Structure 1
Amino acid sequence: MTAITTRGATARRTPPPPTPRERAKRRRDARSAWTLLAPALVILGVMVGYPAVLMVIQSFTDYTVKNKVQGTAPNFVGLDNYVGLFTQSDFPAVLVRSLALMVVLTALIVVIGVLVALLMTRLTRPWRVLVSVGLLLAWAMPPLTATVVWGWIFDTEYGVVNWLLNTVTASGEWSNHSWLLDPLSFALVLTIIVVWQGIPFVAFTTFAGLGQVPAEVLEASSLDGATGWSRFRLVVFPYLRSILTVVLVLQIIWNLRIFTQVYALQSRGGIAADTNVLGTYLFRQGVGEFGETAAIGVFMVILLLILSWGYVRTTLREEEL
């Protein structure tokens, strides 16, 4: 009797096959959707797909400006360009420097940005508006302009930092001190510039996410005796996990692709060979060596995909659920 009942329930749960009218409606909906998506797909294919495929193809050739001028086909060299990157150039040192800088920048930007967002929830409205305006000014400033301003602050002869250090130490040891010649102090100045401009995005995004945390949940945790750190870790963080994951992935990508700030500081006195990151190294690669530069570009894309794969996998899993 139980088996008969189970089979009957299963049979009742099985949806009936679609009627011809329903199948026709689904086909019309699919055609309408593809029609609406077609312009965007064409633009995406032309602007992204074609250059990406061309870059991958060129990375396996010795394509140079000579081939472009003479109209001759390049030679297929296989993996020679990729092998040469790690055996016949300073690319490994640049890669390690870029990854280390990315880790430091991302950690500082995310941690300080979250702390600023938490601080904004405790401020009164006038102070919150004042802090928001300050963050917007830093965020809205173009990277090149910000680098020029900070470059003058750390200038060798007229910099405010050198003057302040001389005043505090009551000596002239910091006169004509160059902050950009030494790779470590160059990295310090670069970190200040990038972190200063990266904090506002994290702060505003996290502050918006904090508004999703129910006030009654926070009040209940306070009544239960939870400390500030426990309340953030066990109550607030679960609501912010998806937001902070997106912020973290974006910061990793952006900080691994920095170019303007590094190039501008190098132009003000930094030694390019000791301070290059992936972006400036790719830019300064041999002029017209399209095959080698394409190999660097492909490697950077693969590296970024690997670093962001965790977020992509989580997003796909959530969509399936």
Structure 2
Amino acid sequence: MLPWAMIAPALAALLLIQGYPLLRLLTLSTREFGPRSLFTGQSDFIGLDNFTRIFTDADFLAVLLRTVVFTLVCVTLLMVLGFLISHLLMGVSPWARVVLTVCLVLVWAMPMVAATLVWQWMFQPQYGVANWLLTRLRLFGDMSVYDWFSHPTQALGLIILLTVWKGLPFVALTLFAARGQISESLYEAARLDGAGTLQMFRHITIPIMRPVLAILTILEVIWSVNSFTPIWVLTQGGPDGATTTLGVYAYITAFSRNEYGSGASVAVVTVVILALFSVAYVRRLSRQGDVV
């Protein structure tokens, strides 16, 4: 019983801080909770009607597919660019490494709302620095009044770039720390055997860093799916819902349509999807012996 007694405070804190809100969310998703319920505190039990309502909503499938694409692009860019930056940090001089690390930490430390507002200003139609610079360069003609956020593809692309830019420091610094734990003797032995850079990357770096990559992938998938602030501040899910993902869809359903039960059911579906993905991913890696 001693191990259980030692972890009991942490388990109690997790159950209180995370378990209760999840239970409350699940309860709310099975009730007809609308504006009237906010004042009376009463809500009728309706079972799975909220889930039926969202699954029959024509917009839900499009939102789900958009969330999958958004997450796939963000996670792929984060992992690839994070690997490249971590490799760069390993090869530069100490003073350059310090400068790069400080820059990454400053980006990471910037609040998401502030970072999103900076990007919003950069791509502002009339006074944005991006439009001014592109107009000066004459790459695409006169871009001085071009509204990036009124075009679905460009708006979603800017949101992806902002999400990747904000999350890249965490990935790069984590991979850099993991790469620093690999003994250089392994690479020296591989060079003596005639291995090239790509071969060492494939047979040494990737296998040893695979547990770290697994954790990073799961975290980035969760954070990308739940991404809300950059989308809401920049586009509020527009134009015409073209940048709405599951997090924004849940917020709009609950607080714009005042369908709090349906909004809670969207959140429950999101939690279930992420939980299934995480469990399946970890089980697959465990069978391969990559994580224990």
- TM-score, scaled relative to structure 1: 0.83
C-alpha contact 2:112 2:230 (8 A) present in aligned 1: yes
What RMSD in Å do the two structures reach over aligned CA positions? 2.3
The alignment of Structure 1 onto Structure 2 pairs a total of residues equal to 289
Tell me which residue corresponds to 1:250.
219
- 1:211-290 paired onto structure 2 within 5 Å: 211-266=180-235, 270-271=238-239, 273-287=241-255, 288-290=258-260
Distance in 2 of aligned mates of 1:261 and 1:319: 34
Tell me which residue corresponds to 1:176.
145
User: 1:105, CA displacement in angstroms?
Assistant: 0.4
Gaps of 5+ in 1: 1-29
C-alpha contact 2:210 2:290 (8 A) present in aligned 1: no
Choose from 103, 126, 131 the match for 1:162. Answer: 131
Tell me which residue corresponds to 2:88.
119
Tell me which residue corresponds to 1:293.
263
C-alpha contact 2:253 2:260 (8 A) present in aligned 1: no
User: 1:246, CA displacement in angstroms?
Assistant: 0.7
Choose from 116, 121, 133 the match for 1:147. Answer: 116
Tell me which residue corresponds to 1:87.
56
Distance in 2 of aligned mates of 1:115 and 1:316: 27
C-alpha contact 1:212 1:239 (8 A) present in aligned 2: no
C-alpha contact 1:179 1:185 (8 A) present in aligned 2: yes
Q: Which runs of 4+ in 1 moved over 4 A?
A: 314-321
Equivalent AA in structure 1 for residue 113 of structure 2:
L
Question: What is the aligned-residue identity percentage?
Answer: 35
The 3 A distance-change label for structure 1 pair 315 and 166 is closer
User: 1:34, CA displacement in angstroms?
Assistant: 3.9
Distance in 2 of aligned mates of 1:281 and 1:304: 16
The 3 A distance-change label for structure 1 pair 320 and 250 is closer
Larger gyration radius, structure 1 or structure 2: 1
C-alpha contact 2:25 2:268 (8 A) present in aligned 1: yes
Tell me which residue corresponds to 1:19.
none
C-alpha contact 2:74 2:160 (8 A) present in aligned 1: yes
Tell me which residue corresponds to 1:18.
none
Distance in 1 of aligned mates of 2:286 and 2:51: 31
Q: Secondary structure at the match of 2:30?
A: coil
Q: Secondary structure at the match of 1:258?
A: coil
Give yes or no for the alignment of 1:42 onto 2:12. Answer: yes
Tell me which residue corresponds to 1:108.
77
Distance in 2 of aligned mates of 1:88 and 1:283: 15
Distance in 2 of aligned mates of 1:316 and 1:160: 48
User: 1:315, CA displacement in angstroms?
Assistant: 7.5
Distance in 2 of aligned mates of 1:181 and 1:243: 39
- TM-score, scaled relative to structure 2: 0.91
Equivalent AA in structure 1 for residue 138 of structure 2:
T
The 3 A distance-change label for structure 1 pair 37 and 213 is closer
Gaps of 5+ in 2: none
Distance in 1 of aligned mates of 2:88 and 2:10: 41
